[in-house]
Structure 1
Amino acid sequence: MRQDTCFFCRQPAGNDGLHEATTFQLDKRVRTAATLLQDTELLGRLSAGDMVAIEAKYHTRCLVGLYNRARKANLEGLEDNGQVHTASTSGVVFAELVLYIEETRQHDGSAPVFKLAELAQLYKSRMAQLGVEVDNRVNSTRLKEKLLVEFPDMRAYTKGRDVLMAFEDDIGTALAKACEQDNNTDAVHIARAAQIVRRHIFGTDRSLLVLSGPEGECSKTIDCLPAYYTEVPPVASNMKVSQVPETRVESLTRDGYSQHTKEEYQWLDNARDVIENKTTADDSLDTSWAAFHASRQPLGIRATCSTVLLPLFQESAHTVAMIKHSLDVISKAVEHLNPGQSPVVTFDQPLYALAKQIQFKWPEKYGEDKLVVMFGGLHIEMAALKMLGNWLQGSGWVEALVQADISSPGTADSFLKAAHVSRTRRAHQITAAALHVLQHRAYDSYCQTQTDQVPLAFEAWCRQRVENIPQFQYWSIVLELELLVLVFVRSLREASFSMYLDALIELAKWFHAMDHTHYARWIPVHLRDMAELPRTHPSIAQAFRAGNFSVQKTKKVFSSMAIDQAHEQMNACIKGDGGAVGLTDNPSALLRWMVAGPEVARSIQEFEIGSKKSDDTRHHDQTTSVQVSFIKDVRSLVSAMEHFGNPFEEESKDLIVLHSKEIAGPSAAEAVRKVKQTGEHQFEAFTRERLVERTKPVDDTITRNKLMVFGTSTVRRVSKHTQKLVSLKQDMELFSRLYIACQTRDGNLHELFRHENQSCPPALSDGGGLRLGLKSDLLPCLEQVHSAYSASPKVTCTIVDGAAIIQMLKPSSVKTFNDYAHVIFIPYLTRKFESVSRLDLVWDRYLSESLKAATRAKRGTGVQRRVVGAAAIPRNWQNFLRVDSNKTELFALLSDALLRSFVQEDKQLVVTNDMEVLSKPPLPDRSSIAPCTHEEADSRMLLHVAHAARNGHHKIMIQTVDTDVVVLAVAVAQTLQPEDELWLAFGTGKNFRYLAAHEIAAGLGPEKARALPVFHALTGCDTVSSFVGHGKKTAWAVWAVFPELTHALLKLSSAPNDIPQEVMATIERFIILLYDRTSTCTEIDTARRKLFAKRHNVQSIPPTKAALEEHVKRAVYQGGHVWGQVLVSTPELPSPCRWGWSKTSEGYYEPLWTCLPDAGQSSYELVSCKYGAVLPTADVASGAEDHTPKGRGCGDACVWGSSTQDSSKGTLSQSKLPKDSRAP
C-alpha cells in the first residue's frame, strides 16, 4: 500500500504527523488561497475533487504557511490597487458628511430637508478633493442605508425621482412653514418675476426677437385657432386599395451605386494607412468617416433652411382621418406662403403607408400630381441599422466591441436594435474600418505564402475567398452592408439626390432579403414616385436634384439632414425632458402647450443661431480629439478581433461565431450564400408585379425568407406528461372500440394479445424511443459476489477513460482551452504517473451512424464550436460536451498537448487518436491495438488491458464511471492469466471505490462471467431498452433461480448468426418470470393476457413475442457481436438492420419494435369499413355486398351503422351514407 504524504509538500508524516481533511470549509479556504497565490500545481491537485472526497492529509505547518502567504498577497494587492487608501478615505468623508448634517440640524429656526442626490454629490466631490477618483456615480441606496443607521430618527421619503431625507421631529415644523405660503404670497412672487422678465426683454438686442420689436401692449388672452385647423373631419370610407396608379416607369434599376462605394473605399484606404502607421500625424485629421468626406466637400454651402412648427394636433396621428386632415392643412399653408407650389410632405413608414393609400383612394384631390409624399430619411436609416443588427445578431460582433473597450455590454447590445442612431452609426464606422484592415492583413499573409507563384490581385483574391469560404463571405457582407448604410447617410449629408436613389435601391433589396416587409413594400413605391417626379412635378424634381430634398440647418459642411430628422429636432425642443407628461390630465394646460410649443422652438432656434458668432464651417468631427478617439477605437477593435481570430483568415467551410467559436448550423452557410440573390430577385419581382405590370396589389403578402445565420430554431420536445396522455387516449380508444365490437362479434382474445396496443410497445418504448433504465443497479449485485475496496491497490498500468475524465474535470478556474489543458488536465494525468509505469488514455469515437444517437439525444443538445487553444472555454461545459464534434476536437487538442508536455523517458504513455494509437516512447508492437474500429472507449480499454498484460503488466487499473466497463472487465478478467489482476477505480466523490474484476469473475464462475455482457444488454443498456418497472436487481434475482438462462446467454455471447428457437424459448420464459415469479406460462402472449386480467394495465404486462424477438436481436447485436468481440481490434459487425434496427431516410438508426401491426389495425374485431366516405352513388348496391368483411355483419363501430341493408329496397339506405357520399 502507498505511504500517506502531505497534500501540500508531498512529504511523509514525519514527527509532526498528518491531519485528515474532514470539512468542506477547509477545502473552500484552501482553494481560495491557491487561487489568490496562482499556485497552478496546487490548483491541479484540487481539480481531482474536494479534499474530503480524495481523503487529503496535511501538515499543520504547511496549512498555516499557505494561509500566511495568501494573507500577505492579499494585503499587497490591496495596497497596489489603492484599495486601503480608498477605504480609509471613504470613512473620513462619510464622517464629514455626518457632521455636516448634524450642524445643519442644530441651526436655529431651521427644519432641514436633505436631497439624497445632493448628499451623494457632496460625498463624491469630497472624495475627489482628497485624491480618490470615483469613476462611477455613488451608490445612493447604500449611502442612504448608512445614513439611516447613523441617524435612527431620520426618515426617507420618495417624491417623484427624488429621495428626501428629514428628521422625524422636524416634520411638523416643515409642514407649518409650508402652510404659511398662501396664494397671495405666490401671486406677489409671480408679479415681481414678471416685472424682472419684462425689464430684461426690453433691454435686450432685438435681433433675436420679432422684426418690429417687442410689443408692450399685449392682450391677456389669445385667439382660438380656426375650426378648419382644429376640427378633424371623420373618414368612413374603406381604405383598402388593391392597385397603385398606372406608371410610365418600366424599371427602378440604376447603375451609379458602384461609384459611390469606390469613394467609401477611398476613405477605408485612408483610414487603413493611418491605422497601420503609414501616414504622418497631420494626415490623420480626416481619418473618421465624416471628417474624410467633409474635407472633400466643395467650398460653396447651401443657404440654411427655415424650419418652423405649426400648432400641434391632439388627435392620434396613426389614423386616416388625421393624415387626410394634415394634408389639407399643409396644402393651405403652402398655398398661402407660396402660391402655386406643390406641397412636399415627409412621413415615417406607418404614416407614409396611410398617406399613399389616401393618394390612391382620392387621386382627384390628393393625387400624385397634386402633392409629393416623401419617405423619412432618418427612419430609413434607423431601419437599415436594425436590418444590419439582425444580420450581426449572434456573430460575436457585440462581444468584440466589449472586448475592445469601445462600449459596455448593454450599450453594445443596443447597437443591434439601433436604440441610439448616432452611436450605432459610429460603431459601424469603426467596424468597417477594422474589417478593411483585417481583410488586407489576411491578404498580406496570403501573399507571403505564395513563394512559388504570382499571387492573385486583391479583388480577385476576395472573389475567390467569397465563393469558397462562408466565414469570409459573411464578414465581407457585413462590410458591404455597413458601407451601404454610410452611402445612404452620405447622400443626405451631401444633399445628393442621385446618390440617395442609388443607395435606396440597394437598401430595398436587403429589406426584402432580411424580411423587413414594411420597408420592402413601401420603399419601391417611394422610388417609383421619385422616378415619376420629372413628369408630375418638374420644378420639385429640379429642386431635389439641387439638394433641396434635405435640410441644411447650419453653415457647417457635410451637415445636411433628412426632413424628418429636422422635424424630430424641433420636437425635442418643445418636448424637453418629459414632453407632455403631466399635461394630459389637464386639457387647458395641454392646449396651451400645443399652441405655445412651436413658438418656444422658434425662439430657441433663433437664440442658438444668434449666439453662435463663430464663422467656422468645419464639421464637428474635424477635431483632433475626435480623430484620436476614432483611431484608438479602430485599433482596439482590430486587436480584439485578431485575438478572437481574424475572420478573413478562416479556411474551413464552417460559419463560426467570432468569440466563442460556435459553429452555426448547416443552413447558415447556405443562407449567407444566397441572401443577396434572394433579395435581388424579390425586389425585381415586387417592382414588376405590383408597380409596373400591376398584376398584384401592393399590399399582397410578401413571402418571408426566414434566413437563419447564427440564430437557431429550438425544437420543442414533447413532454413525458403529454406522451403519457396520448398513450392513455390511444388505449382508451382501443378498448372502447373493442367493447363495441364484441357486442356483435365473437372475439379472439388470444389473437388480440399477440399484437401491441400501440406501434411502440409500452413495456420497452419511452415516447417512441428506447426506454433507458438504471445500468448502475447491476453494481450492488456484483458487489454481493465480492465486496469493493476503499484502499487503492498497487498497480503498474492505469487505463483511463478520457471522456469520463473530461466530464469530471470542470474548467472552473481557467479561461481558454490551452489553460484547461496545461492547468487542469495534464497535471491530473501527471499525478497518475507517480505510481505507475504505463498510462493509456483512451478516447471515444463518434460515428455518424451510431446506435447511441438516441441515448445522446436524451442527454440534450448543445452548440457546435471550433476548439482551438486560444478559444474561450464555454460557460456551460455540459452543454458543450453534448456535441460530438466538440468532443472530437477537444480530444485531439488535449492529446496533442499531453504528448508535447510528456518528458518522462522511464514511463510509457499511450494515447488513442481515432483509429490509431500514439505512444511516447514508441511501442515496439501495437498491431493488436491499432488500427482499431471500436466506437466506444468502453470496449477499447479492454483491448488495451490485453495488450498491457501481454507486455508484462500483471496488475492493471481501469478508471471509469460506466457500468458497461465493469461488466466487460469481469468478462475479460476470466480470460487473463491466473496471476493477473484487473482493478477498476469506479465512481466519483463519496461513491468512489475500487472493484476487483478478477475476484468478481472468480466468484461468478467462468460461464456466468462470459454470459454477463449479454445479460446486461438484455436487461437494458445504452442501445437496448429496459423493461418498464423491472430493473436489473429483479432480473439478477430471477437469473439466480433460473440457471437455464446461463446456457442460453452463452450461445448468444459469441457473435451468432441467428437466434436458436430453444434459446428464444428460454429467454421468453425468463421474461415471464421477470414479470410474474409464480406464472406457469411458457408463451409470453398467453402470459400477457393473464397478467392483463390481473392488473388491468397495458403498461404492466410484458411485450408481445414479436416485440420481444426484436428486443432480443438488439441485445444479441450489442452483447454478442459488439461486446463478444471486445478483444478483436477490427471486429466484423453485421448490419444492424438484421438485428432489431431500421434505417431512416436521413441515415439514422431507430429501433424496429415489431413486425406485426398494432391491435387496432390487425384484429378483426376492431375492423370497421370506411366505404361510406368514398363510395360513389352508382356503386351503392355493390358496396352493400362488399363492405362487410368475410360476410359478417358490421358492429356499432361501422360508419354504416349496425343494420346495413334497407329491407324494403335491398340496397343501402341513403340515410346511412355520410353526407359527402349521398346522391345529389
Structure 2
Amino acid sequence: MGIIAASTPGIKTARSVPRTNPSIKEITALAKINIKFYKEQSNSFQKLKYEVFEKREKENKSWKLDLLSKICWPLKFSASWSAIMHKTSGSYPGQSNITFLPMIDINPSDESCIYTTLHFVCKEAKQNKCTPILTFDQPLYWKAMMIVQNEPTTSSLKSLVLKLGGFHAEMSFVGSIGYLMSGSGLMNIFETVYASTAVSHMLSGKAIARAVRGHFLLDTALTALILSNIYGIPVPKIEVSSEENAEGNLTQTYDTSKVQIHDTCYTEEVSHATDLLDLFSKGDVCLADVNQSNSLDTIKDKIQQFRHSRSKYKTANLWFQYMDMICILRDFIKAERTGNWTLHLESLKAMLPYFTASGHNLYAKSAWIYLNQMECLKDKHAEVAALFEAGYHVIRRTDQYWAGISSDLAIEQALMRSIKTTGRLTRGRGMSESQRALWILSMPDCAEINSAMMSFTGTKFYSSDQHKEDGVSRQKRDTKDRMIFASFLEERNPFIEEEGMRNIETGVSATSDVNTDRGKDIGLSILKSMEGKCVSDFTFKRKHQAITLQDKPICVYAEPEIATIDPQLLFQRFIVASDSIYEDKSEIFSYELSSQPSSMFDSSGFMRAASKSTLADTIWNLGDCTTEYTDTVYSYVVDGGSLMHKIPWKSGLTFGEICKRYVDSVKCNGTNSVVVVLDGYVSGPDTKDAMHLKRTKGISGTKVTFTETTPFRSKKETFLANNENKQNFIEMLSKKMHSNDVKNAGEKVITFLYGGVPHEGLDILRYKKFANRVLTCKEVIQIHTLPPTTETATYHSLRTYFQVQTWIGGEEIDPCDFGWLIVNGKLMPIMTKRQPTPQRLLLIIRCNCKTNCDTRRCTCRKHGLECNISCGECRGQSCMNSRHGDIDVEADELFSDSS
C-alpha cells in the first residue's frame, strides 16, 4: 500500500542536509509501519442507508464558455475546450507539496492493510494538528467505509474524512458511456481516427486520455451537425488525396486548408459568438464578459428547440443522451481542474443514473454513500467543508488555476510513476523492504539537492505557460480529426426523422425492447428504488439495466448467448482457462470460443465479404480445369426399411439426434455415392397399403407431433406403427441426409482452402493451425484467421448450396432449411446453433461476485483471469481483479500541469 501526503499550499523550509551513514537496519526501522490486524467490532455498516439527496442548484458559471467552444467550429478553427478553459482565471489555494510516506507491505485489498493505513493517517494528522482526510479508489473506499462505520464511537478512526477517488470514478463513467453506446456506431466512428485496439480500451474507460479527447471532438462534430440543421452552416468535408510514394504504396494526406466555408451571411448570434471566442482567445475579454452574452442564450434555446423537434425519434434521442453524458464528463473535469467543490458533487450525482443503467453497480453504491457523507460534512467537520468549498479538495502540482487533479490521480502521477520509471524500484533497485525505505526517505532530500545544484549551476527547467493543446500542430491534428468525424456523421446523420433505433454505421435496426436511448430514465428508476434502503438489503438486477443495440444480435443462436464481449478477448480467456480443465486442448476447438464465428462474420454480425478476384486468379492459375471422362460410376443402394429398424432408438434422445445416428451410420459404411431407398407413407391410397397393414400386425400407434428438438419418450415400434409419424420422420431424415451431403462437400472444400489434409476435419485443422501459430507467430493470434468449426462451416455450406440452386434455377427449396432465418421480415444468416464453448468452461470465465473480487472465491481470480465486462457485478471496472488501476500513459499528459 503506497501512501502520499499532500499539503496545500506547499511550504518549503530552507535547511541544510546533514551527511549521515546509518545502517540498513536503522533505515528500515524509520520507514516501518506497525501492522494492526483488523477484527470487526460491529455490523453498523450494514445498517447504513441510501439517503435522499439534498436539492441544490448546479453551480456551473462557465457553461456559456463550454457552449462557445463547441458552436464556433467550423466557422473558426480554434483550440480545444481544455486549451480554452486554460485561459480562465480565478482564486485558488496555491501549489501543493507532495511527500512520500512509508509503504505497507500487505495486499492493499486486505482489510488489515486498510485498517493499518487508517490508523497511520490518523496518527500523522494528530501530530500535525489537522483533520485526517484520506482518498481511496472504489474497492478500497468501500472497505475503508465499512471499517470506519463498524468502529465504536470512541475510536480515533471516527474523525476520518473518506473521499472517493475522482479519477477512477471518471474512468468508470467513461466506461458507462461506452456500454450505453455499444452497437450504436460509436466504435466505428472512433475507428476512423484511432486503431481498433485503442478504441476498445477507450470505450471501456481504460485509455482515458484518448477517450476524453475523442469524446470531446465527436461532441463538437455533433454540435456542428445540429447547427447545420438550424442555421444552414455547411459541415466541412475533408478532402482525401491519394499519392503513390516511392515504394508503390498508397498514403492518405488530409489538407485542411482546402476546406471552404461559404461567405453566407449567418444570423447575428452566430457571428457574435465567433467574434467573442476570438476576443477571449486573445485575452481581450474575460469569462464575465462571455457570461453576459445574450447571443449564447439564443443559440442554446434554438438547440433545445431542435432537440425537442426530434424527441420522438429513438436514434436521435440516443445521440442527444450521448451529448448530455459528455457534458457531465466535461463538468466533472472542470470541477477537478478548478477546485469547484459544488460542481464536483453535482456532476458526480449526475453520473449516478448512468452508472446504474450500465451495470456499474459498485460505483453507483459507493458514489451514493460518498455523496451522503459529503452532504453531512458541514455538521461533522465544518472546517473541512469550508476548506473543500475553497478548493482544497484537489491537488495542484503547478501554481496555476487550471491545474487541479484528484488525489488518486496525484498518487498515480507522483508515486506510482516514480516507482515504475527505469532505474527506480520496480525497474532497477528492487522492491525489498530496505530498498523501499531507503528510496522513500531519501527522495525529499534528493529533491532539495537537485534544486540546489540547479541554482548553483544557473540551470533551470521551466514548462511553457501555453497549454499543449493550444499549439499549432495540435490544433491542426484536432481540426483534421473533427472533420473526419463530421464527414462520417453527415453521411450517416443520427438526427434524421426516422422511427426506430439503428446503428448509424451498419444500418441495423434494433428490436422494440432496446431502450438504451432512455438510459437516464432507467437509471433514475433504479435509484428511486434504492432510496431509504440499507446497503445490505438492496440487490441490483441485470434485467433492470438498459438494453443496448449490441445486446440484441442480428443473427440468432439456438440458445441465449452469453454477455456481449470482444471476440478476441473471449477467445484468449477461454484458452487460458482451459489449461486447468482439459488435458487435450484440441477438444475445445470444436467450439468457436467466441461470441460469434469470427472466421465467417465480422464484429458487426455481418458475413465477411468474399475476395472474388483472389478466387478467380487461383482458379485460372490451376490451368486446364477439364477432367478425363470415365464411364465407371460407383453407387451403393441401401434398403431404407432395413436401415430404419437396424438403428436402436434410445429414450430421451431428440429426434434430431436420432436422425444423426442414421446419417453417421450411412457415412461410416458408404464410400462414394450412397442412395437410401425409403418407402413413402402418403395419406391417400397407395399400392403399398396392403403390405403396410400386414407389417403393423394390427397395431396402431398414437400420432406424435415432433420437431428436431423434441425428445423421444415412447417405444420405437409403437411410434412407427403410425403411418403419419413414419412419413414425417422419413421426411426429416431425408432432409438430414441431403444436407449432410452438402455439409461433407462444403467441409472438404473449406479444409482444402485452409491447406488441410483430406478427411482431417475442420476441428482438428483449427487446433493444428492454432498450435503452429503459437510456436511461430510473434504477434497476437487473431481468432478470425483460424478455420471455422465444423458447425459453422455446415451452415455456410448450406447457404452456398441454396445460392447455387437459386442461380442455376434448380429445385425450389426453403432458405430456412439451408442456413437462413427470418428476422423482422428479412433473411439473416444463422451463425451456429452450438454454444460458443463447453458449459463447464463457460462457468469460469466470468464471476458474479457481490464484493470486490479480492479472494479466491472469485472464479476469475481463482483461474488466474482478470475480471472483464462480462462479469455480473464488477464488469471489470471496479474491483481488485481488474486492470482499471493501471493508468494509461497518456493520462499524465491529459491531467498534467500543462493541460
- Normalising by structure 2, we get a TM-score of 0.54
> Greater Rg, structure 1 or structure 2?
1
Tell me what 1:411 maps to. Answer: 198
1:781-1180 matches, within 5 Å, as 875=608, 1063=684, 1072=692, 1080-1081=695-696, 1085=700, 1103-1105=720-722, 1107-1108=724-725, 1111=728
How far 1:313 moved relative to its partner?
Answer: 1.8
Offset from partner CA, 1:979-1008 (integer Å, 9 cap, x none): xxxxxxxxxx999xxxxxxxxxxxxxxxxx
Offset from partner CA, 1:80-126 (integer Å, 9 cap, x none): xxxxxxxxxxxxxxxxxxxxxxxxxxxxxxxxxxxxxxxxxxxxxxx
Tell me what 2:526 maps to. Answer: 682
How far 1:1067 moved relative to its partner?
Answer: 6.9
Is 2:541 aligned against 1:703? Answer: yes
8 Å Cα contact 1:260-1:487 kept in structure 2: no
> 2 CA distance for matches of 1:608 and 1:565?
28
Tell me what 1:319 maps to. Answer: 110
Offset from partner CA, 1:345-399 (integer Å, 9 cap, x none): 1111111111111221114255786121111111111111111122233333232
In the alignment, which of 310, 314, 319 is matched to residue 475 of structure 1?
319
Tell me what 1:573 maps to. Answer: 418
How far 1:484 moved relative to its partner?
Answer: 1.0
8 Å Cα contact 1:346-1:376 kept in structure 2: yes
> 2 CA distance for matches of 1:473 and 1:681?
18
How far 1:262 moved relative to its partner?
Answer: 5.4
8 Å Cα contact 2:394-2:407 kept in structure 1: yes
2:142 partner letter: A
Structure 1 residues 1033 and 220, CA, compared in 2 at 3 Å: closer, same or farther? Answer: closer
8 Å Cα contact 1:496-1:547 kept in structure 2: yes
Structure 1 residues 717 and 530, CA, compared in 2 at 3 Å: closer, same or farther? Answer: same
Structure 1 residues 319 and 294, CA, compared in 2 at 3 Å: closer, same or farther? Answer: same
8 Å Cα contact 2:80-2:469 kept in structure 1: yes
8 Å Cα contact 1:465-1:472 kept in structure 2: yes
Tell me what 2:503 maps to. Answer: 657
Tell me what 1:624 maps to. Answer: 472
1:625 partner letter: S
Tell me what 2:99 maps to. Answer: 308
Tell me what 1:254 maps to. Answer: 56
1:555 partner letter: D
In the alignment, which of 295, 300, 305 is matched to residue 87 of structure 2?
295
Is 2:485 aligned against 1:637? Answer: yes
How far 1:592 moved relative to its partner?
Answer: 3.6
Is 2:381 aligned against 1:537? Answer: yes
How far 1:471 moved relative to its partner?
Answer: 1.1
How far 1:642 moved relative to its partner?
Answer: 2.9
1:334-373 matches, within 5 Å, as 334-337=125-128, 339=129, 341-365=130-154, 370-373=159-162
Tell me what 1:461 maps to. Answer: 306
1:120-269 matches, within 5 Å, as 211-216=14-19, 218-219=21-22, 223-224=26-27, 230-237=33-40, 240-244=43-47, 251-256=53-58, 263-269=65-71
1:212 partner letter: R
Offset from partner CA, 1:832-872 (integer Å, 9 cap, x none): xxxxxxxxxxxxxxxxxxxxxxxxxxxx9999999xxxxxx
1:303 partner letter: G
8 Å Cα contact 1:493-1:559 kept in structure 2: yes
- 3-state SS, counterpart of residue 697 of structure 1: coil
Comparing 553-562 with 362-371, which one deviates more in the overlay?
A: 362-371
Which ranges in structure 2 are unaligned for 5 or more consecutive residues?
A: 1-10, 236-298, 561-598, 612-624, 628-655, 667-672, 704-712, 733-823, 826-899
> 2 CA distance for matches of 1:1112 and 1:317?
64
Tell me what 2:578 maps to. Answer: none
8 Å Cα contact 1:430-1:630 kept in structure 2: yes
8 Å Cα contact 1:552-1:560 kept in structure 2: yes
Tell me what 1:329 maps to. Answer: 120
Structure 1 residues 683 and 386, CA, compared in 2 at 3 Å: closer, same or farther? Answer: same
Structure 1 residues 1104 and 226, CA, compared in 2 at 3 Å: closer, same or farther? Answer: same
How far 1:309 moved relative to its partner?
Answer: 1.1
8 Å Cα contact 1:661-1:865 kept in structure 2: no
> 1 CA distance for matches of 2:305 and 2:40?
59
1:563 partner letter: S
Comparing 677-686 with 588-597, which one deviates more in the overlay?
A: 588-597
> 2 CA distance for matches of 1:459 and 1:646?
18
> 2 CA distance for matches of 1:678 and 1:552?
37
8 Å Cα contact 1:294-1:619 kept in structure 2: yes
Q: How many residues align?
A: 557
> 2 CA distance for matches of 1:602 and 1:707?
54
8 Å Cα contact 1:304-1:552 kept in structure 2: yes
- 3-state SS, counterpart of residue 295 of structure 1: coil
8 Å Cα contact 2:601-2:607 kept in structure 1: no
1:635 partner letter: M
8 Å Cα contact 1:1085-1:1104 kept in structure 2: yes
Structure 1 residues 419 and 674, CA, compared in 2 at 3 Å: closer, same or farther? Answer: closer
> 1 CA distance for matches of 2:63 and 2:538?
34
Tell me what 1:377 maps to. Answer: 166
Offset from partner CA, 1:154-191 (integer Å, 9 cap, x none): xxxxxxxxxxxxxxxxxxxxxxxxxxxxxxxxxxxxxx
> 2 CA distance for matches of 1:505 and 1:386?
17
8 Å Cα contact 1:241-1:361 kept in structure 2: yes
Tell me what 2:398 maps to. Answer: 554
> 2 CA distance for matches of 1:712 and 1:308?
47
8 Å Cα contact 1:344-1:373 kept in structure 2: yes
Tell me what 2:282 maps to. Answer: none
- 3-state SS, counterpart of residue 483 of structure 1: helix
- 3-state SS, counterpart of residue 163 of structure 2: strand
Is 2:176 aligned against 1:387? Answer: yes
2:84 partner letter: F
2:384 partner letter: I
> 2 CA distance for matches of 1:531 and 1:260?
24
Is 2:207 aligned against 1:420? Answer: yes
Structure 1 residues 699 and 385, CA, compared in 2 at 3 Å: closer, same or farther? Answer: farther
RMSD: 4.8
> 2 CA distance for matches of 1:447 and 1:427?
22
1:447-526 matches, within 5 Å, as 457-466=302-311, 468-526=312-370
Tell me what 1:786 maps to. Answer: none
In the alignment, which of 624, 644, 647 is matched to residue 494 of structure 2?
647
* Higher RCO structure, 1 or 2 (CA under 8 Å, sep 6+): 2
1:223 partner letter: E
- 3-state SS, counterpart of residue 364 of structure 1: coil
Structure 1 residues 1083 and 225, CA, compared in 2 at 3 Å: closer, same or farther? Answer: same
How far 1:222 moved relative to its partner?
Answer: 6.9
Offset from partner CA, 1:883-912 (integer Å, 9 cap, x none): xxxxxxxxxxxxxxxxxxxxxxxxxxxxxx
Structure 1 residues 328 and 608, CA, compared in 2 at 3 Å: closer, same or farther? Answer: farther
> 1 CA distance for matches of 2:319 and 2:702?
66
- 3-state SS, counterpart of residue 345 of structure 1: strand
- 3-state SS, counterpart of residue 98 of structure 2: coil
Offset from partner CA, 1:986-1031 (integer Å, 9 cap, x none): xxx999xxxxxxxxxxxxxxxxxxxxxxxxxxxxxx9xx9997799
